[in-house]
Amino acid sequence: MRLPWRAVPPPVRTVSSVPAGRLNFVPACSTADGASLELLRDFVSRARRLFVITGAGFSTESGIPDYRSEGVGLYARTDRRPMQHAEFTRCAKSRQRYWARNFVGWPQFSSHQPNRGHAALRRWEDGGRLHWLLTQNVDGLHSKAGQKRLTELHGCSHRVTCLGCGDVTAREDLQRRFVSLNPEWTAQAGAVAPDGDIFLEDEQVLNFRVPPCERCGGILKPNVTFFGDTVDRATVRFVHNRLAESDSVLVLGSSLQVYSGYRFLLAASDRKMPVAILNIGPTRADHLAELKVSGRCGEVLAALQPL
């Protein structure tokens, strides 16, 4: 459904970027200008049932690096790539390496806190403006901020699932099991990846002990969708239904390069819903948006208050 106030979408608006570099994991970008802020404020204030999609760029202001941002994302800073689903399920050594790194990175990764952007979306929910929030992030920060009308499309790293019986447990509980199983085990901390992964030498990993599921002895996996895996069909259907109930779409901090998120922009386009994007750098859905603003999500959303 297209909202009545604008019959024809105007051309996509963009704001040029200049280096700033105050926060380590936030790509260089100028502060969004006043005119862009007003257009975005106008877009959000007209929405009655806003559907919001957040991505890795939304968490960088909480100190979590993303994968793709130019210059600062993990793809730019290292030659590491995220764990592939097939490798995790097929290879015990890969799982041992993954969990050893995850064990070391967990205390820091789990300590990250929601930023101003998360707080703003919580206020939009409380005020009845936000109909549904879809996040591609697995850091649990929207939940920490108290968001209720939320789908974590790719799961959440604060939970663990058993590939055998499907039992879901708290990641924090697994950390305690790791500690008791590996009393002598120490490792050097390195750079923490968005999924809590970390750098370790091969020899450090060899002696790390990974416990099985306590119920069935099966393989434990973070309750997140690894690269190469697909999002559960029921979840996709559920999100499409929430999108259909909404009146406009706002993308925050995502380049939408992954199809599992991009498909909802295609659906929004089919429904002729107005789309706005706030992101540093280009996105896959720029051609579908009537408004594109470049800026840091937390900073911009805080500047939009009160709506």
- The secondary element (H helix, E strand) that includes residue 101 is helix 92-109
Q: Which stretch binds Zn ion (CB under 5 A): 104-112, 159-167, 185-193, 256-264?
A: 159-167
Q: Do 102 and 94 contact (CB within 8 A), yes or no?
A: no
3-class secondary-structure state, position 255: coil
Query: Any known ligand binding at 63?
Result: yes
Report CA torsion sign: 232, 235, 239, 240.
positive
Q: Which stretch binds Zn ion (CB under 5 A): 27-35, 136-144, 165-173, 188-196?
A: 165-173
Q: Which of 104, 162, 193, 252 binds Zn ion (CB under 5 A)?
A: 162
Biggest CA pair distance of the chain: 66
CB of 171 to Zn ion, least distance (A): 15
Query: Any known ligand binding at 4?
Result: no
Minimum CB distance to Zn ion smaller for 220 or for 268? 220
CB of 223 to Zn ion, least distance (A): 13
Phi, psi of 159 (to 5 degrees): -125, 155
Q: How far apart are CA 25 and CA 290, in angstroms?
A: 28
For the question of residue 154 being annotated catalytic, the response is yes
Query: Any known ligand binding at 164?
Result: no
**Pattern 180-219, Zn ion, x by CB under 5 A:** ---------------------------------x-xx-x-
Q: Which residues contact 273 (CB under 8 A, 6 or more apart)?
A: 1, 2, 51, 243, 246, 247, 248, 249
Q: How far apart are CA 137 and CA 63, in angstroms?
A: 13
Minimum CB distance to Zn ion smaller for 216 or for 307? 216
Query: Does residue 164 belong to the site contacting Zn ion (CB under 5 A)?
Result: yes
Helical ranges in 162-287 per DSSP H: 171-181, 202-205, 233-244, 259-270
Minimum CB distance to Zn ion smaller for 215 or for 272? 215
Size of the site for Zn ion (CB under 5 A): 8
Query: Does residue 163 belong to the site contacting Zn ion (CB under 5 A)?
Result: no
Query: Does residue 251 belong to the site contacting Zn ion (CB under 5 A)?
Result: no
Query: Does residue 165 belong to the site contacting Zn ion (CB under 5 A)?
Result: yes
Q: Cis bond leading into 211, ω under 30°?
A: no
Query: Any known ligand binding at 216?
Result: yes
DSSP class of residue 269?
H
Q: How far apart are CA 22 and CA 141, in angstroms?
A: 22
Q: How far apart are CA 296 and CA 278, in angstroms?
A: 8
Minimum CB distance to Zn ion smaller for 164 or for 282? 164
Query: Any known ligand binding at 71?
Result: yes
CB of 224 to Zn ion, least distance (A): 17
Minimum CB distance to Zn ion smaller for 68 or for 159? 159
Q: How far apart are CA 140 and CA 128, in angstroms?
A: 22
Q: For residues 268-307, which are near Zn ion according to CB under 5 A?
A: none
Q: Which of 118, 131, 142, 154 is catalytic?
A: 154
Interacting residues toward Zn ion by CB under 5 A: 162, 164-165, 167, 213, 215-216, 218
- Catalytic residue positions? 154
The binding site for NAD(+) comprises: 55-75, 136-139, 253-255, 279-281, 297
Question: Which parts are annotated binding residues for Zn(2+)?
Answer: 162, 165, 213, 216
